[in-house]
């Protein structure tokens, strides 16, 4: 089998969240950050034939790049990468050595706020937040408006940016994330937030969703 460009993009995204991964048999793949603040679930194009642990996912992906999208043959102990010239056995890692997500599906117990988040808006906010070393992105519902705000929660005098993303009719609401946790593949997202817990960012065009923990006060 060869991995599709979409599968490779998902795995590269996984590597930014957790350096290791346990690939499950089938198309549904998950990862979780070491701090357990980000959980990702994706349905990839390719059907992985067996569970396979990868301790250093960036290293594994580097081998795929060097061998220029080789043929992969999985077995329990190794995956053979073969580009027609070089055949390379990449050994599996025990799942016990990798931080893995829970088997039980994560669901929001309630949805307090939901909105659509265009990719252009998300990328602009992340870029400006990074440029200005702003560690937080907050969703704020107030005075009939729903806003996204980049700032430093611990510093009232920090640089601040806001974008209106919709109308809001409920009680005043604020939910904050670490901008470092917004490691989403570029795309439009549908966002649902459970107050005091976490938010779900669901990709609008492929089977990919992120659960990201909210910051505590």
Q: Would you say residue 216 has pLDDT above 90?
A: no
Cα gap 35→30, rounded to integer Å? 15
What is the per-residue pLDDT for 13? 98
Q: What are 48's two structure tokens?
A: 């992985």
Q: In 3D, which of 116, 177, 173, 169 has the Cα closest to residue 150?
A: 177
**pLDDT tens sequence across 60-79:** 999 999 998 899 999 989 99
What is the per-residue pLDDT for 202? 97
Q: How many CA atoms lie within 13 A of 55 on its CB side?
A: 8
**pLDDT tens sequence across 95-118:** 999 999 998 889 999 999 999 999
Helices (H), the chain: 5-17, 57-66, 119-131
> Rounded mean pLDDT of 162-181?
94
Q: Which domains does the chain possess?
A: 5-97 (3.70.10.10), 113-213 (3.70.10.10)
How many CB atoms neighbour CB 39 within 10 A? 21
Tell if the pTM clears 0.85, that is, is over it. Answer: yes
What is the per-residue pLDDT for 68? 85
């Amino acid at each position: 089998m060869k991995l599709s460009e979409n599968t490779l993009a998902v795995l590269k995204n996984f590597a930014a969240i957790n350096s290791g991964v346990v690939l499950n048999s089938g198309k549904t793949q998950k990862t979780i950050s070491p701090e357990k603040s980000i959980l990702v679930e994706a349905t990839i194009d390719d059907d992985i034939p067996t569970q396979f642990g990868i301790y250093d996912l960036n290293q594994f992906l580097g081998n795929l790049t060097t061998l220029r999208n080789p043929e992969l043959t999985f077995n329990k102990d190794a995956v053979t990468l073969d580009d027609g010239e070089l055949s390379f056995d990449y050994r599996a890692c025990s799942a016990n050595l990798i931080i893995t997500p829970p088997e039980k599906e994560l669901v929001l117990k309630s949805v307090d706020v939901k909105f659509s988040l265009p990719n252009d808006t998300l990328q602009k906010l992340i870029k400006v937040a990074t440029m200005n070393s702003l560690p937080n992105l907050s969703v704020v519902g107030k005075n009939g408006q729903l806003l996204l705000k980049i700032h430093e929660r611990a510093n009232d005098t920090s640089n601040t940016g806001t974008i209106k993303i919709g109308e809001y009719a409920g009680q005043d609401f604020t939910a904050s994330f670490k901008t470092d946790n917004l490691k989403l593949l570029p795309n439009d997202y549908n966002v649902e937030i459970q107050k005091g817990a976490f938010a779900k960012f669901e990709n609008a065009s492929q089977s990919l969703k992120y659960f990201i923990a909210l910051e505590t006060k």
